[in-house]
Amino acid sequence: MLSDPTAMLVTVAATCLLAKCRHAIPTLLAIFFATACFLNSPFYDGVEPTERLFGFGASAICLAMLMKLANAKTLFDRVYETVQPNIEDIPGFGWSAYADGRLRFLNPKALNYVGVTAAEMSAISKIDNHSWWSKFVHPEDRDGCIDRWDHSLRTGEPIFEEQRVRRHDGTYRWMRDAAIASRDENGHIVAWFGTTVDIDDQRKAEAALLDSQTQLQQMIDTVPALIWCATAEGQPSYINTPLRIWTGIPLESTKPGDSAQFAKAIMATIHPEDRAIWKQSLEQALNSGQAFALRYRQRRHDGVYRWIDGKAEALRGHDGSIIQWYGVCLDINDQVEATEAVRKSENELRLLIDTVPSLIWLMTPEGMPYYFNKRFVDWSGLSVASALLDGDKLKMVEFIHPEDRVAVDSAIKQTIAAGKPFSHKGRLRRKDGQYRWMQSRIEPLLNEDGEIIRWYGVNLDIDDEVRAQEALRRSDERLARALRAASLSELSVSIAHELNQPLQALVANSHAFKRWLDAVPPNLDRANRTAEWIVRDADAAAQVVSRIRALFGKAVFPKHKVDVNALITDLRDLITDRLIAQAVKIEIDLDPHVPATSADRVQLEQVLLNLIRNASEAMQEKTIERQLVTISSRVRGEMIEIEVRDRGTGIIDPDKIFEPFFTTKQDGMGMGLAICHSIIEAHQGQLRAETLPGGGAAVTFSLPIRPIEANDSGNPDPWPERVAASA
Ligand code: ADP
């Protein structure tokens, strides 16, 4: 280095770089001078110093020029200097201003936009100060713009601002200004250069986006639902206003920045007993990515825990990864409490139904049994499972007494078809196998449209009562028979007594008559007189018989208005139970045109009862599959006809049955039909009996259609004098 100054070239190059090329020549000269002094110094022990100095100087100058060229003229600079750009090609509005803000230049695009010519703009800028542009700015933005422009002019800070600028057609559009100050080497501002870009469409799009975001936010915060969001990792990120108010979680705890505190605040609202399961379910959902669903209790702002139906779903990106969790909490406390109340009342009702001393059961609208209360199950021994599972009809039928099955089945079918309540007395089998009399009643439950929803059935065990009644009836019958027998003996004694005298006289006179004729010679005169006595005695006997007959025929006949059809119906209702007990069914077939007539209602009842009893008894003697008594009414000319038909043995001796004391029954008296005959004759009607071709008998009586007297009330005398009460 000390022997050869060539290395000093490095110092020259570095100096050129540092001093920029503007000062390269003076710097180089200074270096040249310094090097000359150095080389001529006594320390430098070189040969031919002038040559070396010359060589070094030439090298340093070449290097300095090369560095200048490299520093001052880049390739780009050279291209740019040679190609003159057209100012029209510059996108956006360009402008420049003097250091004090007065307009220096405005590009044609900007002039076109505001709708003024270059000359007009020049005039505007001359008469105006630096706020020459303010007349094109929206009034609302004007003051702010001037302030900022003033500030930049004072401080030299760049301008970045947005404002609405009026277009030539009077509409305002959003523009963004960016301007910087150009300074001289001393740092003084020499000019301002700026561009203005139309950002109106962008602003509108941003405003629309902001609007929709605001609306969405408002909706989320207004909708009456408790909504929350969590990150993919399960950290709470947002709860909507209703949820925040509902839980009473303070706003500062819901800041997404501090998710740990947020999570803690939420966890604090979960019921302590439900926290573990809540956490576990949430973690499970987070791990599996499957929906979260849980019912749990959460504390409301007032400290009351309420049942919540919590649900959450994951929002996934295109690649299927979870971006966010969205959840909703539904306050179902009222519903849960209502369900609980219903369940409780159902339990109470069930307890009541199972405790009430009746057998209760339910059927579908189609008549399929599907529920039996506990009493029913206990009483019948019916397995609840088998009964409830398929409502096995066969099993149900097994409970009904074989003799009642057909009747019950058809009655239930009719009831279900008609949709009307049904009442029935029949025998059902208890679990010990004993058939017991039950009073059954079924009623439909209708909805508001009148459609049957289900049938309610109640069975009451009335077996003891029925048996007591039956025993009473039997003892009644025994008593009646005894009374009849007693009356009959009385009647017999009386008849015997009445007939005894004339018959004894008849016998005595007959013997006398024979003696008078056997006498030799026959005493014809006395025989003739005796024959007259015989005739007299026979007449007396006949009169006794006539009187007895007259006793039956002499019906007291109080007249009342009788509606024959109503009488038959009442009677049917009265005796149905008794007949069912004998496994006999009764049916009526009434002609609705049968008019009312004047008759003794009690006597007619007596006749009908007698005929029905005979019909029923006729069927007891024969094994008949369906024991049926049919009572029908009809009009035949001037008469009403009432027929009692049965499926029994038929009339064995039709000529004799109306005679008193004719009977084919072991304990019969043979007086019933005789009395009926008397009663019907007394009403000027007729009684007849016939055997039906297909088996069975039909006993028919007729009554004349009598005009109703004005004083006929239709109410029978409660204590009419009975004809042949002894029967
Ligand atoms: P009782 O019933 O006491 O025998 P009735 O005068 O009522 O007396 O009947 C007389 C007889 O008429 C009966 O014993 C019976 O032989 C016959 N009889 C009456 N009604 C019928 C009937 N429906 N079917 C068959 N026989 C009957």
Distance 559 CA to ligand 1 centre (A): 28
Integer Cα distance of 558 and 634 in angstroms: 24
476, part of any domain? no
Which of 533, 552, 571 is a domain's end point? Answer: 552
**Which is the closest atom of ligand 1 to the Cα of 664?**
14
- Residue ranges for the chain with pLDDT beneath 50: 1-2, 21, 73-85, 385, 389, 391, 554-555, 713-727
Distance from the alpha carbon of residue 389 to the mean position of ligand 1, in angstroms: 53
- Interval between CA 556 and ligand 1 midpoint (Å): 25
482: CA distance to ligand 1 center in Å? 19
Statement to judge: residues 323 and 410 lie in one domain? no
Tell me if 675 sits within 8 A of 610, measured CB to CB: yes
Q: Quick one: 70 and 97 in the same domain? A: no
Distances (CA, A) of 389 to 370, 393, 430: 8, 11, 21
Is 373 found in the same domain as 403? Answer: yes
Q: Whose CA is nearest to atom 11 of ligand 1?
A: 663
Q: What is the pLDDT of residue 603?
A: 79
CA 648, 653, 659 angle in degrees (round to 5)? 110
Q: How far does residue 499's CA lie from ligand 1's centre (Å)?
A: 27
Which of 663, 679, 690, 700 is the best mutation target for the ligand 1 pocket, counting ligand atoms within 8 Å of the beta carbon and taking the most?
663
Please tell me the distance from the alpha carbon of residue 637 to that of residue 686, in angstroms, as a whole number.
14
Which residue, of 204, 233, 261, is where some domain finishes?
Answer: 204
| Residues found in the chain | 727
List, in sequence order, every residue forming a beta bridge with 189; answer none if it has no partner: 183
Nearest CA to ligand 1 atom 27: 651
* Residue where a domain terminates, one of 274, 304, 337: 337
Whether 595 and 628 share a structural domain: yes
Q: 477 lies in a domain?
A: no
Which pLDDT score is estimated for 74?
45
Q: Which residues of 105-130 are buried (b: 16+ CB within 10 A; e: fewer)?
A: bbbeebbebbebeeeebeebbeeeeb
Measured between alpha carbons, how far is 427 from 144 in angstroms, rounded to an integer? 103
Q: Determine the distance from the C-alpha atom of residue 539 to the mean position of all C-alpha atoms in its chain, rounded to a whole number.
A: 92
CA of 614 to the centre of ligand 1 (A): 6
How many domains are contained in the chain? 6
Task: Find out whether 130 and 97 touch, Cβ atoms under 8 Å.
Answer: yes
Same domain membership, residue 29 and residue 97:
no
Task: For residues 165 and 180, give the distance between their C-alpha atoms in angstroms, rounded to a whole number.
Answer: 20
**Are residues 378 and 234 located together in one domain of the fold?**
no
Residues 571 and 677 in one domain: yes
Token pair of 90 as six digits: 């510059």
539 with 590, same domain: the answer is no
Give me the domain span that covers residue 16: 5-76
Instruction: Reply yes or no: is the peptide bond before residue 521 cis, omega within 30 of 0.
Output: yes
The binding-site residues of ligand 1, defined as CB within 6 angstroms of any ligand atom, are 610, 614-615, 618, 646, 648-652, 657, 662-665, 668-674, 697, 699
| Residue of 614, 631, 643, 690 to mutate, ligand 1, most atoms within 8 A of C-beta | 614
The residue to mutate among 617, 622, 657, 675, having the most atoms of ligand 1 within 8 angstroms of its beta carbon, is 657
Q: Whose CA is nearest to atom 26 of ligand 1?
A: 651
Do residues 712 and 575 share a domain?
yes
Q: Which atom of ligand 1 is nearest to the CA of 674?
A: 6
Residue type, 391: G
Q: How far is the CA of 671 from the centre of ligand 1 (A)?
A: 9
Atom 7 of ligand 1: nearest residue by CA position: 672
Residues 633 and 573 in one domain: yes
> 235 and 319: one domain?
yes
Cα of 716 vs centre of ligand 1, distance in Å, is 28
For residue 616, count other CB atoms closer than 10 A to its CB: 21
Q: How far apart are CA 285 and CA 291, in angstroms?
A: 6
Nearest ligand 1 atom to alpha carbon 644: 23
Which positions ≥6 away from 72 have C-beta within 8 Å?
A: 21, 22
**DSSP per position, 526-593:** HHHHHHHHHHHHHHHHHHHHHHHHHHHH------EEE-HHHHHHHHHHHHHHHHHHTT-EEEEEE-TT
Which residue is listed with tokens 């206990």? 378
Q: Which atom of ligand 1 is nearest to the CA of 615?
A: 23
120: in domain: yes
**Angstrom distance (rounded) from CA 180 to CA 182:** 7
Give the ligand 1 atom nearest the CA of 646. Answer: 23
CATH number assigned to the domain comprising residue 429: 3.30.450.20
**Closest to 269 in 3D by CA, of 324, 226, 326:** 226
Shared domain check, 197 and 119: yes
What residues form DSSP beta bridges with 442?
Answer: 422, 457
Residue from 628, 667, 673 whose mutation best tests the ligand 1 pocket (most atoms within 8 A of CB) = 673
Residues of the chain by 3-state class (helix, strand, coil), percent to 5: 50, 20, 30
Residue 195: both structure tokens together:
């561009």
Q: Which two tokens stand for residue 463?
A: 């077996």
Residue 502 lies in a domain: yes
For residue 701, give the CATH number of its domain. Answer: 3.30.565.10
Give the distance from CA 465 to its chain's centroid: 44
CA 471 to ligand 1 center in whole angstroms: 25
In terms of Cβ atoms closer than 10 Å to its own Cβ (0-12, 13-18, 19+), residue 496 is exposed
Ligand 1 centre distance from Cα of residue 654 (Å): 10
pLDDT digit string, tens, across residues 670-712: 888 988 888 898 889 999 999 999 889 999 999 999 887 655 5
Interval between CA 570 and ligand 1 midpoint (Å): 24
Q: What is the pLDDT of residue 75?
A: 43
Nearest-atom number in ligand 1 for the CA of 648 is 24
The pLDDT value recorded for residue 557 is 54
Distance 561 CA to ligand 1 centre (A): 30
**471 lies in some domain:** no
The contacts of residue 508 (CB under 8 Å, 6+ apart) are none
Q: Is residue 482 part of a domain?
A: no
Closest ligand 1 atom to residue 649 Cα is 25
Residues 6+ apart with CB under 8 A from 461: 359, 379, 436, 437, 438
Is residue 214 in a domain?
no
HSE value, Cβ hemisphere, 13 Å, CA-based, for 118? 7
Helix or strand (DSSP H, E) at 71: helix 49-72
Q: Atom 21 of ligand 1 has which residue's CA nearest to it?
A: 614
Q: How far is the CA of 663 from the centre of ligand 1 (A)?
A: 6
Give 687's strand partners.
Answer: 701
CA of 381 to the centre of ligand 1 (A): 45
Per-residue pLDDT of 241-256, as tens digits, reads: 999 999 999 888 887 6
Nearest CA to ligand 1 atom 14: 663
From the CA of 673, give the closest atom in ligand 1: 6
Report how far ligand 1's centroid is from the alpha carbon of 349 (Å).
56
pLDDT value of position 80? 44
Is 248 domain-assigned? yes
